[in-house]
Each structure stands twice: as C-alpha cells, then as structure tokens.
C-alpha cells in the first residue's frame, strides 16, 4: 500500500474513532502516530514529532490569545452583560412580530463581540432569553432554534477564537481577518432576523409582542450596555487602529471585562476561581486538539497527500469555483460530526494548498482572507446542522420540555438563511474584503 493510500484510508478510520466517542484530539493524535509509523517504517520520526510539535505549537505567542478570549467570555457571562444586551435589543425590536426572538439574536451578536466562542454565547444567552421566549408564547422549536442559530454569531463576529486558529495555520494577519469578518458577521445577524420574520408570518407563531417603548427608555437601555460597547471598541478598535497587538487587546479585554463583572457584583472570589478553572479546562481541550491535529497533519505531509492532491486537481483542469463549492459542501457535512475547531485544524492544511493554487481573481493575501471567512461561515452552519450540531444539543439540553425533533425542525429556516448567505459571500468577495481594502490600503 502506497503512502497516499494510507493517508486516504486514515480519513474513514479517524471518523470511525470519533463516532465511537474517542475525544477528537486523541483520535487525531493516535491516527497520526500510527500513520507516520506506517509511512516511514520507523518510530524515530514519531519521537521527533512529539518533541518538536509540542514545543513549536505551544510556544507560539499567537496561541496565548485563546485563553485570554475564553477568560473574557467567562467574565462577561458573570458580569450580567447578557441580560443588559437582551433588554437593549428588546427595547428596539420587541414590539415587532417575532421581536423577542429577534432580540435574542441581536443580544447573541452583541455578546459574541466580547466572547469569541459559539457554545459559550449560546449557553449564556439561553439562560436569559429562553424564559422570556416561552412567556411570550414562542413554540419550543422556534425558541431553541433561534438561540442555537444566534449562538453561532459568537465565532463569526470578532473577536473569534476559530479565526485565530485559521490565521496561525495559514500564516495570515489576525487583525485583517477580524476586519474581514466584521461585515459578514453583521450580515449573518440580518439574515437571521429576516428568517425569524418569515417564520412567524408563515407559521403564525409568537403572536404576542412587547409593548413599544419610548425613546427615553431605549436610550437608557443602550446606556446600560456601555461596558460592552467600550470593551468591544477598545479590543477590536485597538487592533484595527494599531494601538495593540491582538494578544495585548485580548489581555486588555479580559481585564476590562473582569473589572466590570467585579463592579457589578458578579465576580467574587469563588466565581473568579470558577472562571479560571473553566478557562483552563477549555484551553487545555483546545490545545490538545491543536497537538493532535499537528501530529495528524505532519503524517499527511509525510504521505505527500496534500501536495499530490493539489497537483492532481490542477492537472484535471477543474473549475476553481467547482472545487470551492465541493470543499464548502464537505465542511457542512463534516459539521454534522465534529466541532468547528477540529474541522479547521484537520482540513485547512489539506484544502488550503489546493485552492491557493487556483485563480479566483484575487491576490494571495485577499484570497486567504476571503477563504477563511467562507470556512468560518460553513463551520458555523455545521454547529446547527442535525443530527449532531453542538449548538442544538446545548440549547435543547437547557429546554427540557422541548423534544429534540422540534429543535431540528425549527432550525431548518435558519440553515436555509445560512446557505443563501454563503452563496452571497461566494459570489461577491468584496463583501468580505472591502473594509480590509479601506483600512489597509
């Protein structure tokens, strides 16, 4: 069996290991180690990998941004910011048909701007908004689906942990990726609001709405979320304006969010320790996946599969747009069985060389930024794609009276909105790139 055949067989084996509930990081690590041994016929490269990869990966200064953004999200969850965001969004949208669900999505977008994690955004906002959605007569399916979809905004609206990983893998500028993600993130929220508007008119769901509130009350609600606005503009604006590096901005954001949470009485000693513990556990899980992906991708490099695959695709003369469509479809399929972080770590080293060799009418840097946004969008779709969308399980577990089939049924319009949005971003790359061109021209 050739080394390329071994690499090809490793994919179904890896998927099988994931299906039998072996942690994804361990599955990639095991498959990579055994694959390297089969390809090289020696344990020496494996021992060298374990020494060099662990050091080169975890000594990467850029990776320090991950625990800082995770800690920022933990502090935000304890600082009462989620409730303030929901009340502010409800003041502007609650009186519309489907307005409470729209408010939940708007609050998720705001929380995602200071969190960077989809699962954390979904879980935190669900605690605040699920009771309100049920109180206003929303069906369990629509309520849980709206929150699951809104939670995905946590990884698209900057800052985003997944974008940091993509930037490291493809050696791109993190700040430029954050800039490129800003407009697609706002577009995602708009598409979800439109989807809710259509749902409530077609299904006659959620007839009850909030009473319109005067502008004075709306202004007071906006003033209540000033910490979120200040932290967002300090972190993201500081990166854009060159005041801080992304890592420095993450540290400032974590410190600022922690200070706000402490002032509001949501961060005592025990809660601080809980935030630190949860951040450490999440960071350890992510770093273990990074290590497993590094070993697996080194095995693929030994096998020459990525290089041979890129050369084969170019030689076949396939349309670049056809290849891109197939890759995006594969991401949606993979999203049904693994999380976005694992998908990107596993596939970007394989797919990026293939599509980079093709002509999409963009410079290499602009293509890398655009491709990263597209990957992030379809990875986001995977988080809400049945049967194993992680956001669906998180939200459904917090609504014990709602059958999972209702959540599956309720999420379909949001998936349709995501597919339409992906099509728009594919056909019109300037949507993702125009802000980068303005700020970095």
pLDDT at 422: 92
pLDDT at 414: 93
pLDDT at 314: 66
Of the candidates 346, 334, 265, the one whose C-alpha atom is nearest the C-alpha of residue 300 is: 346
Q: Are 421 and 191 in contact (CB under 8 A)?
A: yes
pLDDT at 160: 81
Regions of the chain where pLDDT drops below 70:
49, 53, 56-57, 204-210, 306-307, 310, 313-314, 336-337, 388
pLDDT at 159: 78
Helices and strands in the chain: count of H runs, count of E runs: 23, 0
Peptide bond between residue 159 and the one before it cis (omega within 30 degrees of 0):
yes
Tokens encoding 114: 């200071």
How many Å apart are CA 425 and CA 184, to the nearest integer?
A: 8
How many Å apart are CA 282 and CA 288, to the nearest integer?
A: 10
Q: Which helix H or strand E contains 316, and what residues bound it?
A: helix 305-316
pLDDT at 205: 62
> From residue 187, how far is each of 1, 104, 207, 410, 438 by CA, in Å?
48, 16, 26, 21, 19
**303 contact partners, CB below 8 Å, separation of at least 6:** 3, 4, 6, 7, 35, 39
């Amino acid at each position: 069996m050739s080394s390329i055949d071994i690499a090809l067989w490793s994919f179904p084996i890896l998927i099988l290991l994931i299906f039998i509930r072996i942690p994804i990081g361990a599955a990639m690590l095991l498959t990579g180690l055994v694959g390297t041994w089969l390809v090289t016929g020696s344990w020496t490269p494996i021992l060298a990998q374990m020494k060099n990869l662990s050091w080169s990966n975890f000594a990467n200064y850029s990776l320090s941004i991950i625990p800082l953004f995770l800690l920022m999200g933990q502090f935000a969850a304890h600082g009462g910011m989620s409730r303030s965001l929901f009340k502010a969004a409800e003041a502007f949208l609650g009186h519309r048909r489907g307005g409470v669900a729209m408010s939940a999505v708007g609050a998720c977008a705001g929380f995602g701007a200071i969190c960077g994690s989809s699962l954390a955004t979904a879980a935190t906002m669900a605690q605040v908004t699920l009771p309100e959605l049920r109180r206003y007569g929303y069906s369990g399916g629509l309520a849980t689906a709206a929150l699951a979809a809104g939670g995905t905004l946590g990884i698209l609206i900057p800052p985003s942990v997944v974008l940091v990983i993509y930037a490291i893998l493809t050696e791109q500028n993190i700040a430029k990726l954050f800039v490129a993600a800003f407009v697609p993130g706002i577009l995602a929220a708009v598409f979800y609001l439109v989807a809710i508007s259509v749902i409530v008119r077609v299904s006659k769901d959620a007839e009850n709405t909030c009473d319109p509130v005067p502008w004075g009350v709306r202004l007071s609600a906006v003033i209540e979320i000033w910490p979120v606005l200040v932290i967002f503009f300090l972190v993201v604006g500081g990166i854009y304006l060159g005041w801080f590096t992304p890592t420095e901005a993450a540290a400032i954001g974590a410190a600022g969010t922690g200070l706000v949470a402490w002032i509001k009485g949501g961060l005592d000693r025990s809660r601080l320790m809980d935030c630190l513990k949860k951040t450490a556990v999440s960071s350890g899980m992510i770093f273990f996946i990074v290590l497993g992906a590094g070993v697996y991708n080194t095995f693929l490099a030994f096998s020459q599969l990525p290089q041979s695959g890129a050369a084969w695709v170019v030689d076949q003369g396939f349309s670049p747009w056809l290849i891109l469509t197939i890759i995006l479809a594969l991401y949606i399929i993979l999203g049904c069985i693994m999380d976005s972080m694992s998908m990107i770590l596993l596939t970007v080293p394989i797919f990026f060389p293939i599509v980079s060799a093709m002509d999409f009418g963009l410079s290499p840097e602009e293509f890398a930024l655009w491709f990263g946004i597209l990957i992030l969008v379809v990875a986001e779709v995977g988080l809400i794609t049945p049967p194993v969308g992680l956001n669906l399980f998180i939200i459904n577990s917090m609504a014990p009276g709602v059958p999972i089939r209702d959540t599956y049924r309720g999420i379909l319009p949001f998936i349709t909105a995501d597919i339409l949005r992906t099509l728009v971003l594919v056909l019109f790359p300037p949507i993702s790139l125009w802000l980068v061109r303005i700020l970095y021209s």
